[in-house]
Structure 1
Amino acid sequence: MIRFAYGCIPSIMSLAFANTLVRRGGLVPTSILLSAGGLRFQKKRYTPAQVLPVFLRQFGARFTGYNVLAGLGGSLPFGAPRGGLMSFQQLSRAYGIPLRVSDDFSGEETVEALRAQQVDLFVTSMCDQILREPLLGLPRHGCLNLHPSLLPDFRGVDSIFQAMLHGVPEIGTTLHRTTARIDAGDVHGQSAFTRTGAESHLALTVKATAAGVPLLARHLEALEQGRTPPSLAIDVSRARFPYRSWPTREELERFHAAGQVFWRAEDFRRLLRFEDPTDPTTRDVFPVAKAPLGTAAS
């Protein structure tokens, strides 16, 4: 059996993914690593107390409030009752998954803990840390990331926001190799689903990450059977939508002017009830393709 660890920020979206991964996908990590120590923004690390006024100045109340709600939803030690969304602590107790809080996944202490667990694969989704050596070279099957876009398009901090801002008709999910260069490692799988104009950022994020669970399941199955999972190189120079960092004020204004929203109360109710987030229009995009991603297939 392939032993994999999952690393993420403690948010309501990453919590929903962890629940889907374990309770619907049947993929139980050897451990879950929660990123701590605040938030990295403009090459600086801010504590939770410091980041609030910085975000308010930079992004305004609506975007800041959404991020606060998302963070609080993922940090509470208790979950919804009677089959609803389980907290990280509840998942840990119910499925025997050790929880570890770390401000540096690539640091010596965390790497030694993963080595002691004999981790074969390290998986991230919604992670705010840039992985580096020695972590990148530790697992025998490497490190993977689930990125909510069809790479090489929409590389960067918030691909769902950029996809909504540009009005693309499909939301994609990519399982790719983690490298020192952000969102540029070889792709092992991609899926996409049709979006509607009424869906919020929160709803689309939860759908996109849920679409990554079957991609990861197939990858793990191939490894367990001794097969080499399919892969394609990314040609980042041919991306239709380039790397983007945090939204600008102007982008946020355009986002709201177009009637887009970050969340609705019903989104949180659906999350707390742990309703199935799978979109029925989800389809595989790769491994059908043959050419390097970002180029035209011959």
Structure 2
Amino acid sequence: MDNFEKQQTIEAIKTVIKARWLYVLLILLQALFIKTITLNKVVPLPSLPLIFLLFIAIFILNFGYWIYFRRPFERVKVFQLKIIKFSQFIIDQLSISAILYFSGTVNKMLILAYFVPLVFAASLYRRKGVIFAAVSGILLFSFLVILEYLGIIKPGTPEETTFARFVTGDKVWLRGELIGFTFYYFCGAVAAIYMADLFRKREEELKIKKDELTGKTEILTTQTQELTKTRDWLHDALIKSDTARLEIKKTKDELQKTNVELQAKINELEKYGEVTTGRELKMIELKEKIRLLEEKIAELYKK
């Protein structure tokens, strides 16, 4: 059971639990109403303590299911989920059978409640679940009919208040009950199977769409990862580009500074050259004057 099927099963069981709260409460209110207006003299019902005991047991069980599914999805074990799933329509069939048994007869409107587990089975187990629920429902009802036929369970009210006559040992009544219930329950099962197939088809379509969405999500995730890598690469490239730009700017500034210093040196050298050249010219001029003076002095000495 994958996570998708697990999630679908949990949601289906939660829906069954909510539906059970409602229809069990309605049955309880009807029983209390009949008891309070003294219709229990003409309508076969279990005793009031037994009614409360049965319904309290159902409510406690349903409340336990509700509490269990409030836990996180990861804590719901698959094995436990399968057991809870299997027990859903079985519990309802056994509860209905218990009410019929303690009422003393199967000739009650309550037998219509046997169709509720068919709906639950259709939503939980699809076709196989409906077939199993139909077989188990027919077996339980047939068992009660046989018990009433044998006189093991007896109604505490007059027979004219029910669907058919309470006749212990009446084979015609026995055949009528068994054939009638089996036929109508089978018809209900066929309708439930069609609904189950519809549910299954929709679930398969939903799963296909989910798989397609998962595939697209994986593609988008891959693209997102690639975009993230590209973004990181661009970020690194920008950082390197900024670093290189700063280095170039620094080099340019240093070059400009060097050029300024070089120009200053050249200017200084030119000034120094000019000064040196002037001095050399003065020296040459002085030497020439000295030479002329020496010649004059020599001439004077000769004279």
Give the TM-score category using the shorter length: under 0.3
Question: Of Structure 1 and Structure 2, which has the larger fraction of its residues in helix?
Answer: 2
Structure scoring higher RCO (CA < 8 A, sep ≥ 6) equals 1
Point out the structure with max Rg over C-alpha: 2
